[in-house]
Amino acid sequence: MNKFADMIELLGSGADDFAQLVVVDREYDVFERAWCVAELHRAYAMGIRQRVCMHMNSVLDVDANDLVVYQRLSTLTVTACRASRPEDKREILSKIPDKQEFDEQLQEVIFGSRGLLRRQLQGFGVLEAASRTAFRVARVQSFPEP
């Protein structure tokens, strides 16, 4: 039984001062965990304030040479996310009718004007557009040739 959906509905609708704290690990793996991504997406869609606590954000610096984290986050797809139990992943995916739309919304959750990493990415005005473009390019490249 998934109690998260019921709990987030209750907390999000009844407490004006409720906020979700997102703790981002060193490797940013939180964004590749199916339950975490589903919860982040739901809270964002409900308009719940989200706060971020990061172990480090130097990989997001303007002059960072390693763009692996950007690449991972900008091409993130819920279908590639992991779960400890296969049945958990199946359950999560079964509740998402349009995975492509979910993935696009997930980019907004991470990079958008209310996004989780918006403060870490100030000065990257084009980053949101770039991340969307990279995501779409990656999707197009994955289509089989006619």
Per mean pLDDT, which range of 37-46, 87-96, 107-116 is the poorest?
A: 107-116
Choice among 17-31, 45-59, 61-75, 97-111 with the minimum mean pLDDT: 61-75
Residue 1 has a pLDDT of 46
- What's the pLDDT band for 97 if we cut at 50, 70, 90? very high
Residue predicted with more confidence, 112 or 126? 112
Residue 108's H or E segment, with its range, is: helix 99-111
Residue 43 phi/psi, 5° resolution? -60, -40
Q: How many CA atoms lie within 13 A of 113 on its CB side?
A: 0
Q: What is the mean pLDDT of residues 61-82?
A: 78
What is this structure's pTM? Answer: 0.74
Mean pLDDT to the nearest integer, 14-33? 87
12 CB-near residues (< 8 Å, 6+ apart)? 18, 43, 46, 47, 48
